[in-house]
Every structure is written in C-alpha cells, then in structure tokens.
Structure 1
Amino acid sequence: MTRSVELHGHRGARGLLPENTLPGFAHALDLGVDAVELDVGLSADGVVVLGHDQVLSPVTLADTAPAHPDDPAFPYVGKAVRDLTLAQLRTLDAGTRRAGDAFAGTQRPVPGTRIPTLAEVCALLAPSGVAPAVELKTDPSWPGPLVARFVAAVTDVLDAAGLTARSRLLAFDWRVLTATPREFGRVALVERKTLVPDSPWLAGLPARDPVASAAAAGATVLSPEHTITTPGLVDDAHDAGLAVAVWTVNDPEDMTRFAKYGADAIVTDYPDVAARVLDENAGGAG
C-alpha cells in the first residue's frame, strides 16, 4: 500500500515530543514520516541551530546556567538567537514545554534535551531517506545580505551532509527562495497575513495571485495554511507545476479532506494520527 499524500512531521512531532529536538525527529522517523519540517536560526558565531522563534521563547526553552561565569547576557531566554553564541544556546533546556500551553497536555517531556545544530539533525536524517524541510526564520526587517548569508549557511550544511537532492528550504520571506540554489527544493509558505496588498513578505511580488507569484519567486512547492486551502488553490498550483503541502493539519477529518483535494503533502503535529488516516485513505483508494 502506497500513500498518495506525503506525511510531514511538523517541527518533528510537536504534539508528541519536544519540538525541533533530536528526540522529536527520531520519533517522527519511527512513525514513518516522509519529511521532517524543522525551523532554523543563525547563532552569533555563524552556526545554524534549531528553533522556531527568532527570540528565545519561555514556552519551549528554559535557562539552566550561564555558558561561562558572570556572563552578562545571562539569562538567555527572551534574547535573540542571532545575538547568542552556540555555547550560550547549548545551555538551554529544550525538553519541557511550559505548563498550560496547548501542546503540554499531549507532549511527553524529555528534560535536559539541548538545542541541536542543523548538522546534528542532518546526521540523524541522512541514513533514513527522509527529506529535511528546513524553514528559515527571517522576516522583512532583515537586510538582504543577511538573508543571503543565512541561506548560504543552511545550504552549506545540507550539501556537506549529502542531502542536497532531497532537501527543501521553506520560507514566508520569499527572498529566501530567490537566494536558494536551484538544486534545492523551494517551498513558498503563505498565510493570510502575508497575502495582503503590497506585502513585504513576497519579495516584491503581488499577493493577488499567490500561485503565479510563488512560481515567479522560483518555488517548487506552495505551502498554504490549512484555513486558506481550497480545491481551487490546489488545482491552480498543480496547473502551474507546483506541488502543495498544507500546514498545520491536526484534525483527522481535515487530513482526509485535503487528501481528497489532491494535496501532495500534509504537515502535522501528530504524525501518528496522520499516518493512520493517510494509510486508511490509501487502502480505501484501492
């Protein structure tokens, strides 16, 4: 039985284990994902590290101790990733979600888990055959040269790991896509707030036709938020030669619905649930 829709684990398996961590990615692999979606930033000393937020969030991270005695930057939570070194970032505990958060009730904590580097994630993924889907966390306030430097740092890591052919770079800031070498997949992320007139997110391209603009930006995949995904949008993307990866889909009925729309991939916090639903749909299609 072959699935017609790819299963992508969002931030690894955010609903089950701490996001953007090696334990979370390993569990996603065990659940049979086709790709792992992950978020990266760039440390002050130029290392590509995992993390969803440009400013370290107390929801997913906790300080433990300074990287060196009397470090004036400590505590680190609340500070920007690009203002901290790898040594400082490594001190953070990424294994326990703050109590009361929506995912704290379903996510199993792994206390003591550290922020990994992209190179460490690549070492885990390389023998698996699973695709890295790497979202670069920038925004329109970033100067163009810094965006280009970040893209180069990410692609260098993926290339060194031998993962170029099966990797894809994701971004809401489409300048990332225009800077990404053509050997890599390029995923245009879209949501309501980026699809507005004169949007600063779309690399100067118009928001009125996101499919045409994504293609013009060099995208190979359109990745819309699930709330704006319609059968027409999927069909238009396919007509333009773009695959469609819908995020973030956690409801089983929605998973089935987007599969019927013809989506090429479902991005989910619960790959265990999605694997069951997509496998059932694949079996029924026969």
Structure 2
Amino acid sequence: MTFTGEAVELHGHRGARGLRPENTLPGFAHALALGVHALEFDVGLTADDVVVLSHDQVLSPLTTADTGPVRPGDPLFPYVGRPLRDLTLAQVRTVDAGTRRPQHDDDPFALTQLPIPGTPLPTLAEVCALLSAVPGVHLAVELKTDPDWPDTEITRFTAAVAEVLEAFGVTARSRLLAFDWRVLVEARRYAPDAGRVALIDRRTTVPGTLWFAGQPHTDPAGAALDIGATALSPEWALAGPSLVESAQRLALPVAVWTVNEPDDMTRYLAYGVDAIVTDYPDRLRLVLQAHGLPVPDPWLKTTLPVPN
C-alpha cells in the first residue's frame, strides 16, 4: 500500500502524546475525535508472545508505574524497569500507563498532557479492534528492536504482529515501521499487503551502521528502496529538501517526525513532504487549514469502545 497522495497526511504520534497518555486507547480515541489520517504507535512482545504497546523495550518509569504484583511474592515485581520480553501479559497489565512522571519540571508533554490514571497498556489486538470501527484511518505500527537481536527473534516478532493485523482484517491499511530494516524484509514476507516504512535518524545513519540490514548509509532513500521499503520516515533534523526530493524521485513518500511547532510544520509543508508525524494533531490541523489544505474528518461516532 502507499500513502494517499491526495493530501499531506496527519499522523498522530503515539496517538496524541502531547494531549493524552501515549500508546493508550484513550489517547487514540482522542486523536480520532480530533481527526487524523493515521495513528502511529510502538509495539513489543511479552514473554508469552503477546504483542503489546510500549515505546521502550523496558517498562519506562516515565510513562508507567507499578500498582502491585500479579500475585503475592512475584519475584519479578516491581515490573517497571524490566524488559518487556521478560514479563507476561498479566504482569504488564498491572502497570498504570495513564500518568506521565517526568524527572524534570520542564517536560513539555507533562505540561500539556491530560493524565488518565488507571489506564493500562493495550494489546495490538485491542488497538485493531478500536480501529476496525473507524474505516479509513491507517495504522502505523513501529516494531521496537535492536540490531543485536538474533534474526530468529526479528522473524518471530514480525510474524506475531502480522498475525494480529490479519486477524482483524486491517493489514491493507497498516504500515510496519522500523529502524532495524530486517523487520522490513520480514514484513514483505509475512504482511505483503502492508506498507513498509524505513525509519532513519542521526543515530542510525552513521558509517558502519548496523540498522540498515547491510545497506550503505550514504544514500538512505536508495538503500530504503533496495531493502523493499514503500516509504521513508526521517527524523526532522534529516528531512531537508534534498532528502525529500531524492526519496520522492524514487516514488518513496516521505513522513517526517516528530514535528510539534507550527513554524516547523509550515517549513516541512514547503519542502513537499507527504506526511507529518506530530504529538499535537490539533496544532497540525490548524496549520493545514491555514494553508488551504484538507484535514481528515473527526471521528465523533459513539461507537468508539473507549472514552475520549
């Protein structure tokens, strides 16, 4: 699948991280109520092979807090700070993901995000169930891995994600995102109808990079095309006019992340990007409208299974 090509797409980053708790169902419902073309979120795999939402490979003390062990005397408790891969779904379900807990008072998201205490981390299946009721909105699913993972784990993880998407019939409107481009290779095998988005940032585009699955770092757009990507998604600092032009010459749409200030949004519109990923969908909607560009319809139907 490709981007729509009809407008600059508005992608809600981790739902709407600047407005609601990230990677949660209430956050997604709020983003949908505002109106987005796609929801971007992160997934990992539990010890019992359930795909759940989490930006980090460990349960982060910034976004999660322990509430109690799943059973008395559980030797793995407390769970926050432990690798997701070491915890079962039942253990992950006990943590509260509804309140941001920054270490510093100037955390921008803590200043603008509405806490929703008691919110759990959802499974990918629950997100798919939510979005199955919202036709037209795309799923941008980032698989969180590292280059030191064995190939077998990359395959296992990608196949598990693909299985959930297929079970809910949303594969064709999904895009699998990864910094570790081995995921894109496996996505071509396990979810051929889904988009494959090559993520890049200043950390992964260095000489000798291990993130590009053996592809050269000097031409990220060309390397992404060669690996089988259907889109390129650069960090904002890399998304200059030359990179945008080189990718689009190869018919690779460009989705820049993460852009939160209206002036920067306007600048990337001038560069001709195909999508902007933002923590503040409300801000980007205003910018798009100010430039006479269409915005996605809000989803206001009462059939959404979670409150916004």
Given that 2:7 and 2:293 are in contact with CA atoms closer than 8 Å, whether structure 1 keeps it comes out as no
For residue 136 of structure 1, what is the amino acid of its counterpart? L
Paired residues, what number? Answer: 283
1:45-68 Cα offsets, whole Å, 9 max, x none, are 000000000011100000001011
**Hey, what does 1:127 align to over in structure 2?**
133
CA distance in 1 between counterparts of 2:6 and 2:226 reads: 30
Match of 1:86 among 75, 84, 89: 89
CA distance in 1 between counterparts of 2:39 and 2:285 reads: 14
CA distance in 2 between counterparts of 1:226 and 1:266 reads: 10
**Hey, what does 1:108 align to over in structure 2?**
114
**Hey, what does 1:251 align to over in structure 2?**
261
The two structures, once aligned, show a CA RMSD in angstroms of: 1.3
CA distance in 2 between counterparts of 1:57 and 1:283 reads: 37
In structure 1, list runs of 5 or more residues that go unmatched: none
For residue 211 of structure 1, what is the amino acid of its counterpart? A
Q: Percent of pairs identical after alignment?
A: 64
For residue 140 of structure 1, what is the amino acid of its counterpart? P
In structure 2, list runs of 5 or more residues that go unmatched: 295-308
For residue 152 of structure 2, what is the amino acid of its counterpart? P
| TM-score between both structures, scaled by the size of structure 2 | 0.90
CA distance in 2 between counterparts of 1:30 and 1:62 reads: 27
For residue 116 of structure 2, what is the amino acid of its counterpart? V
- Deviation for aligned residue 1:283: 4.8
Bigger relative contact order, structure 1 or 2 (CA pairs below 8 A, ≥6 apart): 2
Residue 118 of structure 1 pairs with residue 118 of structure 2: no
Structure 1 pair 144/27, CA: closer, same or farther in 2 (3 Å)? Answer: same
1:78-110 Cα offsets, whole Å, 9 max, x none, are 100000000000000000000433311100000
Match of 1:98 among 98, 101, 111: 101
Match of 1:188 among 198, 206, 225: 198
**Following superposition of structure 1 onto structure 2, how do residues 23-172 of structure 1 map, counting pairs within 5 Å?**
23-99=26-102, 100=105, 101-128=107-134, 129-172=136-179
SS of the residue 1:121 aligns to: helix
- Deviation for aligned residue 1:232: 1.3
CA distance in 2 between counterparts of 1:4 and 1:279 reads: 12
SS of the residue 2:203 aligns to: helix
CA distance in 2 between counterparts of 1:81 and 1:113 reads: 18
**Hey, what does 2:305 align to over in structure 1?**
none
Residue 177 of structure 1 pairs with residue 184 of structure 2: yes
Given that 1:169 and 1:184 are in contact with CA atoms closer than 8 Å, whether structure 2 keeps it comes out as yes
| TM-score between both structures, scaled by the size of structure 1 | 0.97
Given that 1:41 and 1:48 are in contact with CA atoms closer than 8 Å, whether structure 2 keeps it comes out as yes
Given that 1:42 and 1:150 are in contact with CA atoms closer than 8 Å, whether structure 2 keeps it comes out as yes
For residue 141 of structure 2, what is the amino acid of its counterpart? V
For residue 63 of structure 2, what is the amino acid of its counterpart? T
CA distance in 1 between counterparts of 2:215 and 2:221 reads: 11
